[in-house]
Structure 1
Amino acid sequence: MSEYERSRTMPARPEDVFDRAADVDRLDAWLPGALHVRAGDLPAVTVHEDGTDEDTPALLRARPEQMRLEWGTRGQGSYAGWLQVAGIDSGASEVTVHLSFFDDGHDPGERAAGEALDSSLRGLEEQVRLRAGHGTGR
């Protein structure tokens, strides 16, 4: 089993960050570019990976009371992850993303996983900034 984790501070209230992260219709805006999520009957989703042109059945659960997203593959149990938003001083937030690979065949390796996590966190921060820039608040 391999596990990877990254954190990033974002200049927004935790509720705003979580709302943006948990918006299923906007996941593609901050996930790594090769992954696309299509919502089914939640928590069921389908993840399409451009590199392999494969669709994978998955689960995505939002836990607003904990400001946490959890996801993983359905049936095969080869992959899982979570995103946690925590408030810090002065209205900012810390976002942590964690990935677990239970099947070595699905593990992209430390470098690729780290780059994907960093890219995702940058993308989420950009989405949070765009939302704040449009004055939509929550």
Structure 2
Amino acid sequence: MTEYERSRTMPALPEHVFDQAADVSQMDAWLPQDLHVDAGEPPAVTVHEDRTDQDVSALLRARPEQMRLEWGTREQGGYTGWLQVAGLAGGTSEVTVHLSFFEALDEGHDPGERAVHEALDRSLERLEEQVRLRVDNAAG
């Protein structure tokens, strides 16, 4: 198993960050650009990956009381992940994303450390952009 984790501080309350991250209809705005989530019948979702042009059955669970999202592939069990939002002082938040790839089950699923870190960093940047837009629109 290979694991990756990245964190980012965001200038918004944790509830705002979690609400944006957990909104399935808005996930395409912050997920890696080649991944698309179709809600289906939650917690069942379908993830389309442009790179492989495949649809993968997955599970996505939001745990608002913990400000946590958890996901993973269903049939093949190739990967799992979670996103955790934690409140910091001054109305800011820290968002941590963690991915685990199970090589023995799916040799080709892990794109490698550099690619994963770049995708996670860019996804966290995009999530912060979406949170800023949401907070600015609510304030304006």
What interval of TM-score do these two structures reach, taking the shorter chain for normalisation? over 0.9
Per-residue deviation, 1:28? 0.2
Structure 2 residues not aligned, in runs of 5+: none
1:111 aligns to 2:114 (yes or no): yes
Question: Corresponding residue for 1:135?
Answer: 138
Question: Corresponding residue for 2:31?
Answer: 31
Per-residue deviation, 1:12? 0.2
Q: Distance in 2 between matches of 1:67 and 1:4?
A: 20
Question: Corresponding residue for 1:60?
Answer: 60
**Which secondary structure state, in structure 2, belongs to the residue aligned with residue 116 of structure 1?**
helix
**Which secondary structure state, in structure 2, belongs to the residue aligned with residue 117 of structure 1?**
helix
Per-residue deviation, 1:17? 0.2
Per-residue deviation, 1:135? 1.5
Q: Distance in 1 between matches of 2:122 and 2:14?
A: 19
Alignment of 1:2-81 (within 5 A): 2-81=2-81
Per-residue deviation, 1:40? 0.7
Q: Distance in 2 between matches of 1:33 and 1:110?
A: 18
Question: Corresponding residue for 1:125?
Answer: 128
Q: Distance in 2 between matches of 1:59 and 1:100?
A: 15
Per-residue deviation, 1:75? 1.4
Q: Distance in 1 between matches of 2:39 and 2:20?
A: 16
Q: TM-score, normalised by structure 2?
A: 0.95
Per-residue deviation, 1:136? 6.0
Per-residue deviation, 1:126? 0.3
Deviations for 1:83-135, whole angstroms, at most 9, x for unmatched residues? 00000000100000000001242111000000010011001000000001112
- Name the amino acid aligned to 1:69: L
Q: Distance in 1 between matches of 2:138 and 2:84?
A: 24
Per-residue deviation, 1:51? 1.1
Q: Distance in 2 between matches of 1:115 and 1:44?
A: 27
**Which secondary structure state, in structure 1, belongs to the residue aligned with residue 70 of structure 2?**
strand
- Name the amino acid aligned to 1:87: G
- Name the amino acid aligned to 1:108: P
CA gap 1:66/1:112 in 2 versus in 1, 3 angstroms = same
Per-residue deviation, 1:34? 0.3
Deviations for 1:51-89, whole angstroms, at most 9, x for unmatched residues? 111000000000000000000000111100000000000
Structure 1 residues not aligned, in runs of 5+: none
Q: TM-score, normalised by structure 1?
A: 0.97
Percentage of identical aligned residues: 74
